[in-house]
Amino acid sequence: MLLHAPSSPYLSLLSTKSRPRAGLLSPENCLLSSDIYYSIPPKRLENSIWASSKRSVFSSATTKAASVEAGASEITTGVAESDVLKALSQIIDPDFGTDIVSCGFVKDLDINVSSGEVSFRLELTTPACPIKDMFEQKANEVVAMLPWVKNVNVTMSAQPARPIFSEQLPVGLQKISSIVAVSSCKGGVGKSTVAVNLAYSLAGMGARVGIFDADVYGPSLPTMVSPENRLLEMNPEKGTIIPTEYLGVKLVSFGFAGQGRAIMRGPMVSGVINQLLTTAEWGELDYLVVDMPPGTGDIQLTLCQVVPLTAAVIVTTPQKLAFIDVAKGVRMFSKLKVPCVAVVENMCHFDADGKRYYPFGRGSGSQVVEQFGIPHLFDLPIRPTLSASGDSGMPEVVANPQGEVAKTFQNLGICVVQQCAKIRQQVSTAVRYDKSINAIRVKVPDSDEEFLLHPATVRRNDRSAQSVDEWTGEQKLQYTDVPEDIEPEDIRPMGNYAVSITWPDGFSQIAPYDQLQMMERLVDCPQPTPAQA
């Protein structure tokens, strides 16, 4: 967690070195206390950058006590609430780049001025937030520094699991916040090992997690985990599938259907996968990890189109042949507007006789990162225990949670949490209507450019069958059919590629980002006055 340093009387004695650093926390250092920066002085003298100040700790405490005695009765509840929110606004969420007050994390604020009691709840976007303990600690500290505060009570919670856009999803997927695909596009590189250990790392961080084994021809999940109930059950009333569970993680695999490995043609496989995934009673999940089958064919395309994937993790090995296949998968995800957030290079090296050996060469993972701009690379060593744990039915991160491999998967889990939060924030604010200037603001994810569109222009450029004849290409919606002063009633994201815009006549327009970027833009747009803003 980074703390912002706005202009404040608390900061008058801060040295330049104590100012916070900009940027996101990397997975490597986001849990290290040495990387936490303060915009207020710590209370302990030996750690305080105020040690050189003329004011002693004793005099500061005396001043605070005196101010409480003299002025607590004069502080109104409104002023006290403003003080608390101003103090909390010093805490910056590194993923969203803004303070926790603006993010809407502060809930149930309750203040008793006469007794100096302050209580509130911090509602984070996910229970797996890697810096939730630091949020709690700093929230306690910044509020406790207020002169009239005697006691601070902070509780932590997480927002209910919900997808970016749920109305058009199958019922079983409507309470899943993020769906993460683990893909290799080549068999035998350890993709299932990465998927399972990633899922249990996320669960160990406090998230509600499920795993979907999408490989019907050779399901791996039944070998890698050991649930007591190894058969999927049907809900006879709803006609839905009840997932099995192992160590709190929900599991669905064709291998648990009592059918073993399937022998069937592609279209049948796509139907089976669709049924297993969309009719399962997943319930509320923060992350559903999808263990993708190898390849880039019909099954993979069906999964990507049926399921609104939030992000993808790519698994590869050092060989050149693995890179060639992985590159195909990355391009497939790019066309489907699914961001690849990390690359895991498996079986990289092993240590022996005090030396590190690379039996399969080096550079495949870094080549993927460099060529496709994927932000994070993680190396997994050749470990007999990693292979053995996959065969024993207990994931490595569960069998040896303090080991080197478990730490790598923990860092991968932190990366996935941070990147999914960033993606969801970008998508949720990518397209919005600014009523003050009667314009639609567009900022496509992974782009720094924001541009304005006239609502009437967006409505007139609809390319659906209701506006354009599918057979002849004839324009059915005429220019004059759309009034110049039309305003959208609602704008909602649809996955990572488009938005759904509801207009006053009840029409719901699907507007892909690519199409919005090609429309005529507003250049000379009046800015709102302070009164309007």
Q: What is the DSSP string of 273-342?
A: HHHHHHSB---SEEEEEEEPPSSSSHHHHHHHHHS---EEEEEE-SSHHHHHHHHHHHHHHHHTT--EEE
Chain position carrying tokens 């090296």: 349
State phi, psi for 291 to the nearest 5 degrees.
-80, 100
Report the DSSP beta bridge partners of residue 452: 441, 522
Chain position carrying tokens 């900061």: 11
Q: Can you name the CATH fold of 77-158?
A: GMP Synthetase; Chain A, domain 3 (3.30.300)
Domain 171-425 of CATH type 1.10.3720.10: no
CA distance 363 to 477: 54
Side-chain half-sphere exposure of 159, counting CA atoms within 13 A: 17
Question: How far from 282 is each of 45, 103, 198, 292, 367, CA to CA, in Å?
Answer: 51, 28, 18, 18, 37
CA distance 64 to 461: 63
Each domain of the chain, given as residue ranges in start order, spans 77-158, 171-425, 431-518
Side-chain half-sphere exposure of 527, counting CA atoms within 13 A: 2
Return the ∠ at Cα 461 (arms to 458 and 467), rounded to 5°.
Answer: 125
CA distance 187 to 190: 8
State phi, psi for 65 to the nearest 5 degrees.
-60, -40
State phi, psi for 521 to the nearest 5 degrees.
-100, 155
171-425 and 431-518 in the same fold: no
CA distance 304 to 294: 14
CA distance 215 to 191: 11
DSSP assignment string, 88-124: HTTEEETTTTEETTTTT-EEEEEEETTTTEEEEEEEE
Q: Can you name the CATH fold of 431-518?
A: NE0471 N-terminal domain-like (3.30.2020)
Nearest to 335 by CA among 364, 305, 314: 305
pTM: 0.72
Whether the CB-CB separation of 223 and 393 falls below 8 Å is answered with yes
What are the 10-residue block averages of pLDDT along the chain, 533 residues in total?
35 32 36 33 33 36 46 72 93 81 90 92 85 90 92 88 67 88 80 93 94 86 91 88 94 81 62 86 94 74 78 86 78 83 87 83 75 84 79 88 92 92 82 91 83 94 86 87 92 78 89 89 66 43
Chain position carrying tokens 């009765």: 73
Report the DSSP beta bridge partners of residue 157: 123
Buried b (16+ CB within 10 A) or exposed e, 207-244: bbbbbbbbbbeebbbbebbebeeeebeeeeeeebbebb
**413, burial (CB in 10 Å: exposed 0-12, middle 13-18, buried 19+):** buried
Query: Which secondary structure element, helix H or strand E, spans residue 223, and what is its range?
Result: helix 221-224
> How would you classify the pairing of strands 106-112 and 117-124?
antiparallel
Write the CB contacts of 518 (distance below 8 Å, at least 6 apart in sequence). Answer: none
Whether the CB-CB separation of 227 and 251 falls below 8 Å is answered with yes
Whether the CB-CB separation of 405 and 382 falls below 8 Å is answered with no
